[in-house]
Amino acid sequence: MENMQLFEDQPIRTAWNEAEEEWYFSIVDVVRILTESSDGRKYWNKLKQRLKAEGSELVTNCHQLKLKSPKDGKRYATDVANTEQLLRIIQSIPSKKAEPFKLWLAQVGKERIDETLDPELIADRLVATYERKGYTKEWINQRLMAISARKELTDEWKKRGIKQGKEYAVLTDELTKAWSGMSTRQYKNLKGLKKESLRDNMSTTELVINMLAETAAKEFSEAEKPSGLAQNVSVAKRGGKVAGDARKAIEEGTGRSVITSKKASELNHVVTQMIEASANTVIEEENSDGDGS
């Protein structure tokens, strides 16, 4: 499960291995922060050569995972290290940030274990993140409900044999088009978004309509138990149509469009300046499910 962690407001790509119950960290991201350089890749390549020359098995034992690039959003094979390996790498890098980073590593591991034992802590962390961004409490409560609805839908897709990643994105696109008339990418373009989360930039009404689409699709899927991508696409479209009909009814009653080109900073549910660099587990999961929706 891939997500993003922050060390001193700087993003580090990470992945949680459920089987091993430990984090894997992008080495390039860590090296970039420790060396305070714009290109951690060059430093890491030189360090790998030095470690190999010294006879260290550290480089050989490091894994590669496909992580999303911050530059183009595509996934590339990336050198990663678990906590033990990363501590050994840190010892090879002279940096004033080495000790604070070691403490941060310990805290990240503790938080994950605590959240496994008490899932409510995940919600607490999400609330704190959105509060720092300046969202109102009312919108945050709605967003948490939307996250829950999305999780229920993706759990249902897993039961139906849908593969996380590309197939999730296909179904998300079909569902979004069915209620909004746009693909996820077209919707993001309308709001002028690139890598930002679409849901984080929805109005309350947009968020509720999208949640209705996902809830309806989940209910239909539970009742019909579709098999294969094609059948699940049909169900997703029907779930989206339910929400699309609700959207049209609201628009007929109000005389204005539910869908808005405004992003979060222009909507009234954000009351202070947004913090650009932030990430959390659930949001990253959503982004990987459907073009950052």
Closest CA to 160 of 220, 229, 215: 229
How large a percentage of the chain has pLDDT more than 90?
Answer: 38
More confident residue, 4 or 24: 24
pLDDT tens-digit profile of 161-186? 998 888 999 999 999 999 999 999 99
Rg (CA), the chain: 21
Tens digits of residue pLDDT in 69-114: 877 778 889 999 888 888 888 888 888 888 888 878 776 755 554 4
Checking if the pLDDT of 285 tops 50, the result is: no
Region 215-224: mean pLDDT is 97
Contact 182, 174 (CB under 8 A): no
Mean pLDDT of the chain, nearest integer: 82
Cα separation, 290 vs 167, whole angstroms:
9
Q: Residue 9 and residue 152: Cα distance in Å, rounded?
A: 31
In this prediction, what percent of the chain has a pLDDT beyond 70? Answer: 82
